[in-house]
Chains A and B, each alone.
Chain A
Amino acid sequence: MATAIRLRAVRMVAPQGFGYLGQALSSAEQFAALYSSVLRVGVDRIVVSPAHYVIAAYAAAAEMGVLDDEALATYGKDGSSLEAIGTERTPLLDYTCGSLGQGLSAAVGFALSDRLKGRPEPRTFAFVSDGELEEGQVWEAAMFAGHQRLSRVTVLLDANNSQVDGAVDTITTIEPIADKWRDFGWDATDIDGHDVDVIIEALGCGADATRPQVIVCRTSTVHGLDCLPPDADGHFIKLPPELADLALAELTEKLGRHAGA
């Protein structure tokens, strides 16, 4: 499914020749794991804090058959509700924010609502990026959730070490990430974010947790697409027609191999 998400993402950005492909490459396994294992549509909530990542959520939703190909083809175009940066019009997600660093507060708020309403069952999954950890609001939300022991919140933290100005660790030292969250009262694991099985296992552990959980997923914005040039800008990848053709061929071939395996 992760390869299928990448293929769909390439198809979505190819008509424009550039876009948020790196976000999909970085997060494909996380969305694949979430959508194919634990997420119960209609019960659980999903928050995609960095709204530039909605491309991966759309692709995963299409793979699950809850978003049709026709709608997907309008991604990013004039008049489409599938905007390149998610908004209040974005379908299938409970909350998304293009102004970064605000999503965790929403996820924690949803979990708080469930507690206030006496609903122990729903889980809230929040997708957060490592660059967002530079925003203070993330830590305000983390401290609140830890204090309140809002154990129905699980954060998938995409640690791809990429932000607009370059590698996150050249701008701000955010490590040790997992220890910071632990200090704020969270269960934290630190895993290979391109290993679907490991992510699924970590997501499963959260089901009966007593504290909120963060899964630190170590990833790369160019993972799983070998034809990209080494200097590709992970935040906003350029995909001219020849490169798009190469990418489509590579991913189609990989998908075929998975299907045949």
Chain B
Amino acid sequence: MLAHEEPPYRTVLKPYGRALVDLARGRDDIVCLSGDLTRQCEVDLFQEELPDRFVHAGMAEANMMGLAGALARSGHIPFVHTFGVFATRRSLDQVINAIAYPELPVRIVGFMPGISSPGGPSHQAIDDVSLMRSVPGMTVIDVADAVQTRQVVRAVVDLPGPVYMRLKRGEIPVIFPDDHQLSLEHAQLLTDGDDVALFASGMMLAAALAAERLLRGEGVSVSVVNVPVVKPLDTATVAAVAGRCRSVITAENHSVIGGLGSAVAETMAEAGVGHPLRRIGLQDTFAEGAMTVPYLFEKYGLSTQHVVDAAWTSLGQTGPPPRAAAAAETSDGYSPV
């Protein structure tokens, strides 16, 4: 099992942007493309420190993906930056034909995943994992904290083929200790329990760990597994942990269709693991614009309480489930851009 910090988690700013610059200083092949969201995607640091390899592609995502494909064909390693919605929905055909089909090493970085944006359906990437997971050869990553964010840049740079990473914007929590080792091959077992297998990716890891503590207090033991790489999924770990528990929960800041929940369901079915599965995520619905993110997480079923309730009912527990504290207001504020 891997160590993790206790909440409340401290937060840091721009772990991705810093890590990319640090790596690029020693790697002349890295180029940075931005689609009119430079500061929002933390690559203002790159623009300032390595301006010769920074490209303003402007508000033209389809063209940006086409450029990135040709840059990769020419020996560069392009890191392409925009919000997750525009990186995946808007330029899907270009991502597929210019990047994925020729198996080119373009690193597509989509910020503001799921309903971490209060900016409404046009800004909320609730289907980016699903879209990218269906693209042949695409690696799909949804890291959980600042430590993993810093490490993932170096981890993916020489990976064959294209990569899609979704990254939270603004204040990034620190859940793992500094000596944490991110693995792209192995999902990470964080707590060990036999009652519930709880697979979480990205921003939902904090809620999963909070739910585990509450359930443990009621005598329900939970295996929390962090799944930063949704594709290719660590099917061996998923099948093993799901197989030894009585029920299985997935938690993702994304639609329950096509993302982590679907990937786990497919794995369980193929492995013959016949335990009840509950998927936490957006239930085949668009969300909405709002002022605060906790409001959206509560309304669309992504709160700690929703995770607790799902685990509780999946075991057929009688009596009321333990109550989670209301989510604290983040200091991020409204900033969908």
Contacts and interface: CB of A to CB of B under 8 A. Distances in A.
Interface of A: 16, 18-19, 51, 76-80, 83-89, 97-101, 131-132, 134-136, 163-165, 170-172, 235-236
Given A78-B295, A83-B288, A132-B59, A236 B337 contact: yes
A87 B334 contact: no
Contact of A236 (B120, B122, B288, B335): B335
B123 A98 contact: yes
A97 B123 CA distance: 10
A244 to B, nearest CB: 16
B59 A163 contact: yes
A101 B337 CA distance: 15
Contacts of A236: 335, 337
DSSP majority for the A interface?
loop
B34 A165 contact: yes
A135 B85 contact: no
Interface in B283-333: 288-292, 295, 333
Given A76-B291, A79-B295, A84 B119 contact: yes
Contacts of A88: 121
Interface of B: 34, 36-40, 56, 58-60, 62-63, 85-86, 89-90, 119-123, 288-292, 295, 333-337
**Which A-B residue pairs are the 5 nearest by beta carbons?**
A98-B122, A83-B289, A134-B59, A78-B295, A172-B58
A131 B36 CA distance: 10
A163 B34 CA distance: 13
Given A85-B122, A171-B56, A171-B58, A16 B334 contact: yes
A100 B86 CA distance: 10
Contact of B289 (A19, A84, A97, A165): A84
A89 B288 contact: yes
A77 B291 contact: yes
Contacts of A18: 333-334
DSSP majority for the B interface?
loop
A162 B177 CA distance: 42
A100 B123 CA distance: 10
A98 B337 CA distance: 10
Contacts, number: 95
A90 to B, nearest CB: 9
Nearest to B37: A164
Nearest to A163: B36
Nearest to B337: A164
B334 A98 contact: no
A87 B288 contact: yes
A78 B292 CA distance: 7
Contacts of B289: 76, 83-85, 87
B42 to A, nearest CB: 13
A43 B305 CA distance: 48
Given A83-B289, A89-B288, A163-B36, 16 more contacts: A76-B334, A77-B290, A78-B290, A78-B291, A78-B292, A78-B295, A83-B288, A85-B289, A86-B120, A98-B121, A99-B123, A135-B59, A163-B58, A164-B39, A235-B337, A236-B337
A236 B90 CA distance: 23
Contacts of B59: 100-101, 131-132, 134-135, 163
B171 to A, nearest CB: 16
Contacts of A16: 291, 333-334
A77 B292 CA distance: 8
B63 A136 contact: yes
A47 to B, nearest CB: 15
A79 B34 contact: no
A122 B124 CA distance: 34
Given A97-B122, A98-B122, A136 B337 contact: no
A134 B56 CA distance: 12
24 contacts: A16-B291, A16-B333, A18-B334, A76-B291, A76-B334, A78-B292, A79-B295, A84-B334, A85-B122, A97-B122, A98-B122, A99-B85, A99-B86, A101-B59, A131-B36, A134-B36, A134-B60, A135-B60, A163-B36, A164-B337, A165-B36, A165-B58, A172-B60, A236-B337
Contacts of B56: 165, 170-172
A171 B123 CA distance: 22
A18 B335 CA distance: 9
Contacts of B337: 164, 235-236
Given A131-B59, A136-B63, A163-B59, A51 B122 contact: yes
Contacts of B335: 236
Contacts of B292: 78
Given A134-B60, A236-B337, A171 B36 contact: yes
Given A16-B291, A16-B334, A87 B58 contact: no
Contacts of A86: 120
Nearest to B298: A78
Contact of A136 (B38, B60, B119): B60
A164 B122 contact: no
Interface centre among A97, A131, A132, A135 (most CB of B within 10 A): A135
A88 B34 CA distance: 28
A135 B86 CA distance: 12
